[in-house]
Amino acid sequence: MNGLPQFHFISGLPRSGSTLLSAILLQNPRFHAGMTSPVGTLFSSVLQQCSAGSEFGSVIDTDLRRRLLRGLFDSYYADKADKPVIFDTNRQWCARLPALQDLFPQAKTIACVRNVAWVLDSLERLYRANPFENTKLFNDDDERNTVYSRCETLAQRNRLVGFAWTALKEAYYGENAESLLIVDYDLLSQAPERVMRLVYEFIGEPWFEHDFNHLTYDAPAFDQALGVAGLHKVKPKVAPQARRTLLPPDLFEKYAELSFWRDGSASAANVIRMKTDAAVS
């Protein structure tokens, strides 16, 4: 690739294993991966300033837009020149697949998913673990008053969970679905090596022997700024953890029905599913 890195993307639902996946990938010395980067936000800002209706839209053509947007990735990751493969993480990438496929034709997007009820349960658990902090996940007391208002707020289409869910759905049923791999958090935690071998196969990289018992990843300063301690802390060992939900039964049932990726009949996306005792796609 003329010395340029191969870019891939990590997206999908929050609290669904994207940070865990990045921590695993980081063990491979060929790879760079991490938590959500600012590249997605910069991407949107540049596009807004260069498009129709902006002051400069009339003097910036499509080819120049492509160069500017591609340049964001090259500049941001210029200090990772020793890494042949770079994974950039952002929940909005699922809504940007047409642009990503144009800029990076060989790129793959890995979308981490999880039963939406458990996503909300995980966020609720973090909220309750920080009872003396008004987290920035909510704008006012009306939104944060009870578990019902908190879940309904996060599930709105322009908020943390709702946006990620609708963006994922767009990608799953869209024209670029073949470049998408759905990785379920439960499968990754139950059978990490089997799932990761399929991830490697999907991105066309040689297998690397990972240590799933000694992972390291944390971002306390970032989490503290959001008022949600532990949001990006990864446990050392990959393993499933059984627990009871904190959500009332009616809330849990409502959101547990939103796992559209379990029906693969109308999508060309790649989905890792568990069949008998093996993970298959």
pLDDT in tens, 22-81: 999 999 999 999 888 999 999 999 999 888 877 777 788 899 999 999 999 999 999 999
Phi, psi of 177 (to 5 degrees): -60, -25
Question: What is the model's pLDDT at position 53?
Answer: 78
Has residue 108 got a pLDDT over 60? yes
Query: What are residue 278's DSSP bridge partners?
Result: 275
Q: Is 135 helix (H, G, I), strand (E, B) or coil?
A: coil
Question: What is the model's pLDDT at position 278?
Answer: 42
In this prediction, residue 243 has a pLDDT band, given cuts at 50, 70 and 90, of: confident
Question: How far apart, in Å, are the Cα atoms of 60 and each of 44, 45, 86, 247?
Answer: 16, 15, 28, 50
Q: Which residues are CB-contacts of 30 (< 8 A; sequence separation ≥ 6)?
A: 83, 84, 85, 205, 208
180-198: per-residue pLDDT in tens? 999 999 999 999 999 999 9
Phi, psi of 112 (to 5 degrees): -85, 130
Question: What is the model's pLDDT at position 254?
Answer: 97
CA–CA distance, 14 with 11 (Å, rounded to integer): 9
* DSSP tag of 41: H
**H helix or E strand, kind and range, residue 62:** helix 62-76
Q: The whole model's pTM is what?
A: 0.89
Question: What is the model's pLDDT at position 279?
Answer: 46
Q: Is 221 helix (H, G, I), strand (E, B) or coil?
A: helix
Of 98, 246, 255, nearest in space to 165 by CA: 255
Q: Which residues are CB-contacts of 64 (< 8 A; sequence separation ≥ 6)?
A: 50
In this prediction, residue 277 has a pLDDT band, given cuts at 50, 70 and 90, of: very low
Question: What is the model's pLDDT at position 59?
Answer: 81
Domains along the chain? 6-271 (3.40.50.300)
